[in-house]
Amino acid sequence: MKFSIPGYALLDSGDGRKLERFGDVVIDRPSSLSAWRRRNDAVWEGADAAYLPPDKWECSRSPFTTWQTEIANVKLELELMSNGQLGIFPEHAIYLPQVEAAIKRFLAAGSRTVRVLNLFAYTGLATAFCAKHERVLVTHVDLAKRAIDWAKRNVQLNTSATDRVRWIAEDALTFMAREARKGNAYDIVIIDPPSFSRVSKNNSWTLEEKTPEIVNLVLDVLAPESGVVFLTNHSAASTSDVARNIALDRFNDQGVSIEISPLSLKEERSDRILPAGSLITLSHNSH
């Protein structure tokens, strides 16, 4: 897996924190996995903002809360959110070149329009990336209206062809079940389920318990014999194997390749990596 992400760098990590550059803004945040030592104390002095849990940001120079940047050739609005998030999970930029290659394969094979389904789509990194391509129609699904509004702004920063995106503010599983009933299929499914989802007061789930249902729903809406899936897992590593086995069962091991690869961020000036989950890709052998 290629490590470098244009516009982003992991500058250093250690002692329970990570130091990252997003465009020209340097951010210092907690990182529970960074159980090693910092390599370069001096570089941390350059942080523009540091997150202090549970909800505080400390800016080193003039205070700011939002900025615009370009990561993986996608223009994005980022924000210092009170939960420590910024509006991007940079590891998701790692597989965008594979998504682009899949789009190009569909177009080269004669598809008039490539139908992309982006589930748990957050602030729309993958949506904006895909919508920059002609003859692509992205269906963007997220439960949170605030995330959808943010993703709309990100798409607008990248293309004037905003009609390439269909916006759905709904539970991703409910949406997939309805699409399957209607017989609607997608060429590319990008899905980044959270480890925990609270859909409503009486409906919450963990990815571990929902993996079989999620994988089956994805395969219900995937174009038969040609569809490609990019599924990411940020929970237990075993969840990726569970997902792979369930998909293999659906195909009786025939006609598909399902690969699991690590999603990791490599430090700019060392060989150390920060683990960030894994990517499960499914593609048809004929494609």
Ligand X SMILES: C[S@@+](CC[C@H](N)C(=O)[O-])C[C@H]1O[C@@H](n2cnc3c(N)ncnc32)[C@H](O)[C@@H]1O
Q: Which of 31, 98, 156, 195 binds ligand X (CB under 6 A)?
A: 195
In whole angstroms, how close is the CB of 254 to ligand X at the nearest point?
A: 31
For position 245 contacting ligand X by CB under 6 A, the verdict is no
The interface mask with ligand X, positions 103-132, x = CB under 6 A, is -----------------x-x----------
Residues in contact with ligand X, counted by CB under 6 A, come to a total of: 16
Which segments of 138-264 does DSSP mark as H helices, in order?
Answer: 145-158, 172-182, 207-220, 237-250
SS3 of 76, please? strand
Q: Which of 12, 142, 179, 187 binds ligand X (CB under 6 A)?
A: 142
CA 172 to chain centre: 15
Q: How far apart are CA 146 and CA 19, in angstroms?
A: 27
Q: 């080269």: which residue's tokens?
A: 108
The helix (run of H) or strand (run of E) holding residue 273 is: strand 273-284
In whole angstroms, how close is the CB of 284 to ligand X at the nearest point?
A: 26
Q: Which of 31, 184, 197, 216 binds ligand X (CB under 6 A)?
A: 197
In whole angstroms, how close is the CB of 142 to ligand X at the nearest point?
A: 5
In whole angstroms, how close is the CB of 118 to ligand X at the nearest point?
A: 10
Which residue, 100 or 213, has its beta carbon nearer to ligand X?
Answer: 213
Q: Which of 25, 31, 70, 89 binds ligand X (CB under 6 A)?
A: 89
For position 153 contacting ligand X by CB under 6 A, the verdict is no
Which residue, 40 or 85, has its beta carbon nearer to ligand X?
Answer: 85
For position 147 contacting ligand X by CB under 6 A, the verdict is yes
DSSP 271: S
Phi, psi (deg, nearest 5) at residue 56: -115, 140
Upstream peptide bond of 54 is cis (omega within 30 degrees of 0): yes
Q: Kindly report the CA angle at 263 between 259 and 267, in degrees rounded to 5?
A: 145
Q: What is the DSSP string of 243-265?
A: HHHHHHHHTTT-SEEEEEEEEEE
Which residue, 185 or 199, has its beta carbon nearer to ligand X?
Answer: 199
Rg of the chain taking only CA atoms, in angstroms: 19
Residue list 53-82, contact with ligand X (CB under 6 A):
none
Q: How far apart are CA 274 and CA 287, in angstroms?
A: 33
- Cβ atoms of residues 129 and 75 within 8 Å: no
In whole angstroms, how close is the CB of 123 to ligand X at the nearest point?
A: 7
Which residue, 160 or 200, has its beta carbon nearer to ligand X?
Answer: 200
Site residues (vs ligand X, CB under 6 A): 89, 120, 122, 141-144, 147, 171-172, 192, 194-195, 197, 199, 234
